[in-house]
A and B are shown apart, each in its own frame.
Chain A
Amino acid sequence: MSFSNRSLIIITLVLSFFSFLSLLPLLIMFLTSFTEAGQLDLSPFAFFYSPWSWKNYAFLLRTTPIIQWFLNSLLLAFVVTFFHLWLDTLAGYCLAHGELPYKNLFFWLILLTMMIPGQVLMVPLYILMTKLNLVGSLLGVILPTTCSPFGIFMMRQYILGLPKSLVESARIDGASEWQIFYNIIVPLCAPMLATLGIFIFLGNWNSFLWPLVILNDPLSFTLPVGLAGLQGKELLDFGIVLSGASLGTIPMLLVFLLFSRWFLKSLTQGAVKE
């Protein structure tokens, strides 16, 4: 597609306006975290006129093991994302271009598991975790979140869109299934892996209920779980809520930048001449 400069500018302006609206909550959160909690009692929009202050952050750093929580969250999110992507792509390849027996049966089985609300699975999973003696450890949080039907479905749809002739010619050339997977499928999936990676990373970075249920020791808490424990029953402590939440967005921004490098223009171009 070719666009004249004028239409590109118009598009940019329109998008800027909407993205401003969309970014507003994030901006408000950031600014509010630099506002003293006392000011917030007066108005939720106190950040607008009250002076900058580091007090909320200083308070959290001084009185809580927030760095430990932060590192736990980071570890959790990275480990889960890595294995999640690997397993999803593996299953996605088998279900798309692999010669998997009962392909359709497996595919529908996986699709159907997405349709059960997660709330019912909590108790059975907890029982499983007690049997594995994993209650209270980060691994107990990681293992059940390491694979998801959503991710498999997503990768399967994407891989189906790649030319099957690539895989077939590699097979004829004598490549093993693992070689095909690592050397052909994974590189071609880069844009989708980046997308899915962001979903998984951010989803796990923010996840609350499952880590809360599994973790028992304050030093093994993740960021959302730790911050929730600082709240009194009746009234929210806005300073803590917002500075904690802002602290939580920093790695999100970083990861987004990191993954963006893989949002490349398609690698398939010119790979196959049909």
Chain B
Amino acid sequence: MISRLNPLTIFSLLFLLFLSFQGYQKFQVKKTIQISLWEFPRWKRNKDASDRFYWIKKKIAEFEQANQGVHIKLVELSWKGGGDKLKIAVAANSPPDICAGILPVNFIRQNLIEPLDNFLPYAERKNFSPAALDACSFGNRLYCMPWYIQGCFLFSNKELGQKLDLLLPESFTLKQFEEILVKAKKNTTDINMPGFFPFIPYFASGDYANWPFIIAKENYPGLNNRYLFDIQNNRTFELIRNLRLWKEKGLIPEDSGGIGVPDVWKSFAKEKRVLFSAFGTWAIPALRRYGVSFKVHFYPAHENKQQPSFIACSGFYIFKQKEPKKRELCARFIRFLTNEKNQQVLKKYGVFPSRSESARVYKDDPLMLKCFEVLANGKNLPVHPAWSSVDETVNKTFQSSLAGKKSIDTLLHSASERIKNLVLNSEKEKGENWTYLLGVPSVIFLLLLFLKFILDLKGFTPLQRRTLLLFFLPFMFLTIFYFFPILFGFLLSFKFYQGSAGLFENFVGLENYRRVLMDPVFYQSLKNTFFYTFIVVPLNLGTALLIAALIFPLAGRSKGFFRGAFYLPGVASAVVISIIWRYLFDFDMGLFNYFLGLLSVSPVKWLTSEEYSFISVIMTAVFRSPGGPIIIYLAAMDSLPVEYFEAAKIEGATNWQTFLYVILPSLKRTTLFLIVTMTIDSFQVFAQVLMLTDGGPGFSSTVLVHRIYTTAFRDLDMGFAAAMSFILFIIIAFFSSIQYFMLEERGT
């Protein structure tokens, strides 16, 4: 009997015990009121500290002191991935009580956020900057307690301006701005300045620093427009053409449009080779820290009209509460965090307090006061559920219009069509639908399957039954952590997903699939994904086989060394590897373009043009050592019986013949495994794209999983993402089964 107590039984028992313990914990009574607060990293106490949460921790302690019986639990988010974490928690219907950030329109529309109108009396609102209140309201109700405002400015490098003998006025018209740029360009020809540019514009999703250069004030996006944004108009056309002309004149870099903020920041603040550039307010303290002397300008005016900059307001918002007492406490806490006294600290962060009087913290800082004035007239972005996807479309269009060769007209037209679709789709009524009827037969089917299995159990041989016992535990894990979530995801693809809705509510039928199949960006990503797979899989497999075959005959230490040398770097550090690739691909200073220059080939815009950006992504995959396949091949070669080689030796086979006729045929099963898993992996390529190009310029380097990721975690459109996932699943399944049957039948 003891021998029957195999690890399986013990493990299952422990597991059950643990689950019941977890359940027991849930029922424990809590005496204090618990409030959870999710915050992002802010400022450090000083240069020698690393904790970016010390301020909020201090305030929590103060508040708990003043309100006994309240316990506030802080969850420290990170900028990278923190937003995803929040959205996953909300989609799973277990949001925190309070969270920091800008107005979450998608959550509000799902009725998840408490309105704050009752907690901020109208008398007190006079103290707030109207722009801040405006940015925190949706449909005339206040949903977010305004904390601080951020916006964008045009910066110039004072030192460079003096060196180039230029007069840099605070404000100018577009014509005057261009004259300054032309003059700057001309003056640099006298002084030798490598890589100098008078101005670098850039566009990226969620970044509006350079929008005033492309959109005239009267065309700024807004809710008064039926479709949010009128992108297809003569002024925008003119302004884009203007930027293209600047590019031809060499006033802005050849690859503007594809450059990201970090690169522009590097050129402006570290290498100091750029005269003008637009950044958010965060740049002011950063530039001071770097010791760059700079000047802040108004955006160039169009036809004598000042171009306001775009602003965003951060604050705290409360998720729906059941108990009025807790709701009241949450509101009191966020009012405490944003009161006048506590807003003084924002000075450290270089942002502008939402209360008008608090701006006095900057009374000794004329520059910040001036910026504050400018921002007070700033323009809020429209508060609309479709905004994040519209923003993506607009920024990508600007990227392509600068980086690509397509005509501006076509680009603006297709963008405007896309925006209309996005807005219309977001306004559609989401209702009950007959599709849940599909669910009933599938549940019945699963039940029948299970029943058949139970009935079959009697017919099994004892050996089969014992094997089932062996298989039970792995299968249980797979069922809980793979099969159920997949079924859930499948259900999701027929729904308009809301965390708070029940499992069988909000069905929209095949609507999500229809939207996917109507989306031109989906087809672009599909094309790229196929292209990637068909190039990368065979090449990587070939390289892996070659390197493994070279390592195989070595012995002992050197074999171990090479095995590690080809595998470890691939998993070492994604950050470093992406920095190095960026350096290699850089247009002005990159190594690749340097070598092309030696061959007197004109430089290529690797990451910043629509023609090459995806090819560059593929290159990173092809030139990386395929570490996993190499060690799998080696393990397979090592397990070949020695007799094979001895026999080959006796027959007098050369090394080459041994490889071709002894090793290669016996690797068939490993190769099949590698081909299938590598195909699956490369259909799901994602990380490189996210790090190197983020799908840009335009949508030129986007891939399927990148689309799935952005629609799920940025737009919170879980249904759409799930529908795309299942379409991808069908494609992968099709190709894998072809590969499997072709290779499996020939081999073994």
- Say whether A265 faces chain B, with CB atoms less than 8 Å apart: yes
Instruction: Tell whether, in the assembled complex, residue A113 and residue B631 are in contact, meaning their CB atoms are under 8 Å apart.
Output: no
- Residues from chain B with a CB closer than 8 A to the CB of A106 are 471, 475
With A157-B673, A229-B52 in contact, do A98 and B576 touch (Cβ < 8 Å)? no
- Residues from chain B with a CB closer than 8 A to the CB of A266 are 638-642
Instruction: Tell whether, in the assembled complex, residue B467 and residue A144 are in contact, meaning their CB atoms are under 8 Å apart.
Output: no
Cβ proximity bits B72-107 to A, threshold 8 Å, 1 near / 0 not: 010111111110110011011110000000000000
Instruction: Tell whether, in the assembled complex, residue A126 and residue B89 are in contact, meaning their CB atoms are under 8 Å apart.
Output: yes
CA distance A181 to B52 in the complex (A): 51
- Residue pairs across A and B with CB atoms within 8 Å: the count is 360
- Say whether B470 faces chain A, with CB atoms less than 8 Å apart: yes
- Residues from chain B with a CB closer than 8 A to the CB of A3 are 553, 655
CA distance A23 to B732 in the complex (A): 33
| CB-CB nearest in chain B for A137 | B22
Cβ proximity bits A32-48 to B, threshold 8 Å, 1 near / 0 not: 10000000011010000
B553 interface neighbour in A11, A22, A93, Cβ under 8 Å: A11
Instruction: Tell whether, in the assembled complex, residue B672 and residue A157 are in contact, meaning their CB atoms are under 8 Å apart.
Output: yes
- Residues from chain A with a CB closer than 8 A to the CB of B270 are 41-42
Q: How far is the CB of B345 from chain A (nearest CB, A)?
A: 16
- Residues from chain B with a CB closer than 8 A to the CB of A149 are 478, 482
- Say whether A51 faces chain B, with CB atoms less than 8 Å apart: no
- Residues from chain A with a CB closer than 8 A to the CB of B50 are 59-60, 63-64, 230, 240
CA distance A260 to B631 in the complex (A): 11
Interface centre among A1, A15, A194, A266 (most CB of B within 10 A): A1
Interface segment among B128-136, B367-375, B566-574: the answer is: B566-574
With A15-B562, A44-B579, A195-B632 in contact, do A245 and B572 touch (Cβ < 8 Å)? yes
Cβ proximity bits A168-205 to B, threshold 8 Å, 1 near / 0 not: 00010000111001000000000110110011001100
| CB-CB nearest in chain B for A14 | B550
With A178-B6, A191-B639, A230-B50 in contact, do A111 and B41 touch (Cβ < 8 Å)? no
- Say whether A122 faces chain B, with CB atoms less than 8 Å apart: yes
Cβ proximity bits B260-297 to A, threshold 8 Å, 1 near / 0 not: 01100100001000000000101100100010000000
Instruction: Tell whether, in the assembled complex, residue A121 and residue B489 are in contact, meaning their CB atoms are under 8 Å apart.
Output: yes
Q: How far is the CB of B548 from chain A (nearest CB, A)?
A: 11
A19 interface neighbour in B23, B489, B562, Cβ under 8 Å: B562
- Residues from chain A with a CB closer than 8 A to the CB of B483 are 109, 113
CA distance A123 to B579 in the complex (A): 31
Instruction: Tell whether, in the assembled complex, residue B658 and residue A1 are in contact, meaning their CB atoms are under 8 Å apart.
Output: yes
Cβ proximity bits A217-229 to B, threshold 8 Å, 1 near / 0 not: 0100000010011
| CB-CB nearest in chain A for B654 | A1
- Say whether A79 faces chain B, with CB atoms less than 8 Å apart: no
The number of residues on chain B lying at the interface, defined by a beta carbon within 8 Å of a beta carbon of chain A, is 142
Instruction: Tell whether, in the assembled complex, residue B471 and residue A98 are in contact, meaning their CB atoms are under 8 Å apart.
Output: yes
Instruction: Tell whether, in the assembled complex, residue A161 and residue B669 are in contact, meaning their CB atoms are under 8 Å apart.
Output: yes
Instruction: Tell whether, in the assembled complex, residue B677 and residue A90 are in contact, meaning their CB atoms are under 8 Å apart.
Output: no
CA distance A126 to B177 in the complex (A): 52
With A147-B477, A260-B564 in contact, do A202 and B553 touch (Cβ < 8 Å)? no
Instruction: Tell whether, in the assembled complex, residue A249 and residue B573 are in contact, meaning their CB atoms are under 8 Å apart.
Output: yes
CA distance A154 to B649 in the complex (A): 31
- Say whether A67 faces chain B, with CB atoms less than 8 Å apart: no
CA distance A241 to B51 in the complex (A): 15
Which residues in window 428-470 of B have CB below 8 A to A?
453, 456, 460-461, 463-464, 466-470
Which residues in window 195-219 of B have CB below 8 A to A?
none
CA distance A59 to B50 in the complex (A): 8
| CB-CB nearest in chain A for B712 | A119
- Say whether B48 faces chain A, with CB atoms less than 8 Å apart: yes
| CB-CB nearest in chain A for B483 | A113
With A3-B655, A206-B571 in contact, do A245 and B576 touch (Cβ < 8 Å)? yes
- Say whether A18 faces chain B, with CB atoms less than 8 Å apart: yes
Instruction: Tell whether, in the assembled complex, residue A26 and residue B22 are in contact, meaning their CB atoms are under 8 Å apart.
Output: no
- Say whether B116 faces chain A, with CB atoms less than 8 Å apart: no
With A113-B486, A116-B729 in contact, do A25 and B575 touch (Cβ < 8 Å)? no
- Residues from chain B with a CB closer than 8 A to the CB of A93 are 470
- Residues from chain B with a CB closer than 8 A to the CB of A264 are 638
- Residues from chain B with a CB closer than 8 A to the CB of A117 are 684, 686, 704-705, 708, 725, 728-729
With A87-B473, A194-B635, A212-B81 in contact, do A147 and B567 touch (Cβ < 8 Å)? no
B78 interface neighbour in A86, A112, A228, Cβ under 8 Å: A228
- Residues from chain B with a CB closer than 8 A to the CB of A230 are 41, 50, 52
- Residues from chain B with a CB closer than 8 A to the CB of A128 are 480-481, 484-485
Q: How far is the CB of B559 from chain A (nearest CB, A)?
A: 8
Instruction: Tell whether, in the assembled complex, residue A232 and residue B573 are in contact, meaning their CB atoms are under 8 Å apart.
Output: no
Instruction: Tell whether, in the assembled complex, residue B81 and residue A228 are in contact, meaning their CB atoms are under 8 Å apart.
Output: yes
- Say whether B560 faces chain A, with CB atoms less than 8 Å apart: yes
- Say whether B388 faces chain A, with CB atoms less than 8 Å apart: no
Q: How far is the CB of B491 from chain A (nearest CB, A)?
A: 9
CA distance A251 to B3 in the complex (A): 37
With A25-B572, A178-B6 in contact, do A18 and B484 touch (Cβ < 8 Å)? no
Classify the interface of chain B: helix, strand, loop or mixed: helix
| CB-CB nearest in chain B for A27 | B569
Instruction: Tell whether, in the assembled complex, residue A119 and residue B721 are in contact, meaning their CB atoms are under 8 Å apart.
Output: yes
- Residues from chain A with a CB closer than 8 A to the CB of B733 are 112, 115
- Say whether A252 faces chain B, with CB atoms less than 8 Å apart: yes
B635 interface neighbour in A116, A191, A241, Cβ under 8 Å: A191
Instruction: Tell whether, in the assembled complex, residue B635 and residue A44 are in contact, meaning their CB atoms are under 8 Å apart.
Output: no
| CB-CB nearest in chain B for A227 | B78
Instruction: Tell whether, in the assembled complex, residue B572 and residue A15 are in contact, meaning their CB atoms are under 8 Å apart.
Output: no
- Say whether B736 faces chain A, with CB atoms less than 8 Å apart: yes
- Say whether B144 faces chain A, with CB atoms less than 8 Å apart: no
- Say whether A153 faces chain B, with CB atoms less than 8 Å apart: yes
- Say whether A130 faces chain B, with CB atoms less than 8 Å apart: yes
CA distance A138 to B262 in the complex (A): 34
A231 interface neighbour in B41, B280, B477, B638, Cβ under 8 Å: B41
Q: How far is the CB of B747 from chain A (nearest CB, A)?
A: 11
CA distance A264 to B642 in the complex (A): 13
- Residues from chain B with a CB closer than 8 A to the CB of A26 are 568-569, 572-573
- Say whether A166 faces chain B, with CB atoms less than 8 Å apart: no
CA distance A121 to B492 in the complex (A): 11
Instruction: Tell whether, in the assembled complex, residue A116 and residue B486 are in contact, meaning their CB atoms are under 8 Å apart.
Output: yes
Q: How far is the CB of B675 from chain A (nearest CB, A)?
A: 11
Q: How far is the CB of B744 from chain A (nearest CB, A)?
A: 11
Which residues in window 229-270 of A have CB below 8 A to B?
229-236, 240-242, 245, 248-249, 252-253, 256-257, 260, 263-266, 268-270
Name A residues whose Cβ lies closer than 8 Å to a Cβ of B.
1-3, 7-8, 11-12, 14-15, 18-19, 22-26, 28-29, 32, 41-42, 44, 59-60, 63-64, 86-88, 90-91, 93-94, 98-102, 106, 109-117, 119-128, 130, 132-135, 139, 143-144, 146-147, 149-150, 152-154, 157-158, 160-161, 171, 176-178, 181, 191-192, 194-195, 198-199, 202-203, 206, 208-209, 212-213, 216, 218, 225, 228-236, 240-242, 245, 248-249, 252-253, 256-257, 260, 263-266, 268-270
Between-chain CB contacts (< 8 Å), 17 pairs? A18-B547, A113-B482, A116-B726, A117-B684, A117-B729, A120-B489, A128-B484, A128-B485, A133-B22, A143-B481, A153-B673, A157-B670, A178-B6, A218-B76, A228-B80, A233-B79, A268-B641
Name B residues whose Cβ lies closer than 8 Å to a Cβ of A.
3, 6-7, 18-19, 22-23, 25-26, 40-41, 48-52, 73, 75-82, 84-85, 88-89, 91-94, 261-262, 265, 270, 280, 282-283, 286, 290, 453, 456, 460-461, 463-464, 466-471, 473-475, 477-478, 480-486, 488-489, 492, 547, 550-551, 553-554, 558, 560-569, 571-577, 579-580, 583, 625, 628, 631-632, 634-636, 638-643, 645, 648-649, 655, 658-659, 669-670, 672-673, 676-677, 680, 683-684, 686, 704-705, 708-709, 712-713, 718, 721-722, 725-726, 728-729, 732-733, 736, 740, 748
